[in-house]
Amino acid sequence: MISKKMLDALNKQINAEMYSSYLYQSMSAWLSWKNLNGFAKWFAVQAREETKHAMKFYDYIYDQLGRVTLAAIDAPPADFASVKNIAAKQLEHEKKVTGMINNLVKLAREEKDYATEIFLQWFVTEQVEEEKNAEEIILKLEMLGDKGQALYLLDKEMGKRE
Ligand code: FEO
């Protein structure tokens, strides 16, 4: 069993992960609108990953005989200045999520909830990957440029994500 405080925090994280999914799907929608279909696919896959993250918390709560309560998901932004702007926003958002995960680990330690602390280790590692992926997109856009042929080729590469 987990404490009420821990349970509430885990339920909140379900909402945060669903917001991440919504945010990346919104980015994907904007990218499709701009005919950047490779980038759009990459962000749509990322959105699905975020739903899976939410479900990991969901399943863990029931493993601990808790109760899931779902709250409203905030509307994500619909308009973005450019693909570079999307990449920067993604990194900023992932850094925020890393902070949330770290706070959950801190709470688990305070509560002496070792099972939840171990469960959260997967997310600690995942956030390193998430920030790295976001950084890589920024670096590629900086290296190759975000216009014309360079953007066309990068878009093709991004579309290879399954
Ligand atoms: Fe669920 Fe992108 O972190």
Residue with the smallest CA separation from ligand 1 atom 1 is 50
pLDDT of residue 124: 98
Measured from the CA of 16, which atom of ligand 1 is nearest?
1
Residue 52 has pLDDT above 90, yes or no: yes
For residue 1, pLDDT over 90 is answered with: no
How large is the average pLDDT for residues 112-139?
A: 97
Please state the rounded mean pLDDT for residues 104-125: 98
Quickly tell me which residue has 């290879």 as its tokens. 160
Assigned fold of 4-158: Ferritin (1.20.1260)
Domain boundary assignment for the chain: 4-158
Beta-carbon contacts of residue 82 (< 8 Å; ≥ 6 apart): 146
Residue 105 pLDDT greater than 90, yes or no: yes
Specify the pLDDT at position 53.
98
Ligand 1 shell residues, CB under 6 Å = 17, 20, 50, 53, 94, 97, 130
For range 68-72, the mean pLDDT: 98
- CA 63, distance to chain mean position in Å, is 23
- The pLDDT score that the predictor gives to residue 103 is 98
| pLDDT tens sequence across 33-47 | 999 999 999 999 999
